[in-house]
Amino acid sequence: MNEYYDAIIVGTGAAGLYCALNLPKRKKILMLTKQGADLSDSFLAQGGICMLRGEDDYEDYFEDTMRAGHYENNKRAVNLMIRSSNDIIRDLLWRNVDFVRAEDGELAFTREGAHSRPRILFHEDITGKEITQTLLDQVKTKENIEICEYMTMVDIISKDNICGGVIAMDAKNNVYPIRSQFVVLACGGIGGLFQNSTNYPHIAGDGLGIAMKHQVKLEHLDYIQIHPTTLFSHKPGRRFLISESVRGEGALLYDKNGQRFTNELQPRDLLSQAIFEQMEKDGTDFVWEDMRPLGEKTIMQHFPNIYQHCIEEGFDPRKEPIPVVPAQHYFMGGIQADLSSRTSMRGLYACGETSCNGVHGKNRLASNSLLESLVFARRAADDMIFGEAPEMCRPDRLDLNQYEDQNVILEGYHKQVLNEIERMKKANE
């Protein structure tokens, strides 16, 4: 690890990796991640990635996204994401991402909740892993990109609202100031702040806390998505997601008496609310999801990962319903970013779940997350290449003595984020 890079990217999920791959080979890039490079939430995405299916699909796709977001979306951002989708998919195919194809060889599409038609490409039920692992493998072949694992960003270097790098800390609390004209925060959401979440526990909003420290603008921190269907378990730790596309393919939800009680294809927030209400009415800790209407062939071919996990928990979805419960899943708020992923601090970018560019509004439409991450990661790369570069930030001095214990520092950031979430919730009541 050197003292200076042309760009520093914090996070090795889909957004961070794609941003790095879209920067020129002449740029020396450092990628930081606080755990292993393959332990990002992008690897956990099951359902798929959306794609505009021709001009006759544009209005429906736009309306589906807006309706799911309660019409609080940034229309320009939604348009940009949708219009960019075909180019992104072509690039992923060129990079040898393996999407399922129909018998005629054409790309196969599935449908998920709140979509008016099938427009979601997938790879079994591990689409996020297929895309992100492909990108990670390619990054590892690039001589200009260095990945530094088990290295935690604990601060950014700045002066006069210009970013000049990051302060990183290893597991032994050794401190490293690393300078760069450009820093990209692609460090994920806030699932680690919650007891029940589908996210990895180490992804806990560090970047948000650091941004707050430097008065970088944040937006809608109270916009937190609950996924309606995660596999109920008494075991501690991350909740296992039962993909939206399971219901999109025909799975049904039952109450304690085995009766349907709601429309399974509602937007996630409305369906989660319906499930919570039914659980309270029944006095249960879960409801039942029945995958049997899909048929054994679809379960085994489209959802093999889900099937195997259910078997490990003692349920055979081919023969019986499985218990599901809502859990924290996704973060629609974050560091305010424009259509080029620029934040309010010059030289600092944010993309992926860390950012809030307005695409998702108040509630994300299923399978828009991977697409949004890739579109705006490339926008960040383009701006670093073609945009007006800020003057080099040169702080007078860096007080490295303030960074003594990584855990203490991060706990402070996490408390700040939780307090701000509560403040925003109360302000909007």
Place of tokens 């944040």: 218
For residue 382, the surrounding DSSP H or E stretch is: helix 369-386
Q: 262 near 364, Cβ under 8 Å? A: no
CA-based diameter of the chain, in Å? 69
Count Cα neighbours of 240 within 13 Å in the Cβ-side half-sphere.
Answer: 20
3-class DSSP state for residue 395?
A: coil
Distance CA 154, CA 234 (A): 34
Q: Would you call 90 a catalytic residue per the annotation?
A: no
Classify 90 as helix, strand or coil: helix
Please state the φ and ψ torsions of residue 81, each to the nearest 5 degrees.
-65, -50
Concatenating the DSSP letter of every residue in 285-322 gives: S-EEEE-GGG-HHHHHHH-HHHHHHHHHTT--TTTS-E
DSSP assignment of 56-93 = GGHHHHHHHHHHHTTT-S-HHHHHHHHHHHHHHHHHHH
Asked whether 153 and 160 are in contact (CB, 8 A), the reply is no
Helix H or strand E segment including 53: none
Residues in the chain, total: 429
Strand order in the sheet with 145-148: 145-148, 29-32, 7-10, 183-185, 348-350
Local structure of residue 111 (DSSP, 8 states): -
CB atoms within 10 A of CB 388: 6
Number of H helices, E strands in the chain: 11, 18
CA–CA distance from 225 to each of 101, 114, 154 (Å)?
31, 14, 26
Choose, from 53, 179, 268, 364, the residue flagged as catalytic. 268
Task: Please answer whether residues 51 and 86 qualify as being in contact, where contact means their C-beta atoms are separated by less than 8 angstroms.
Answer: yes
Catalytic positions are 268
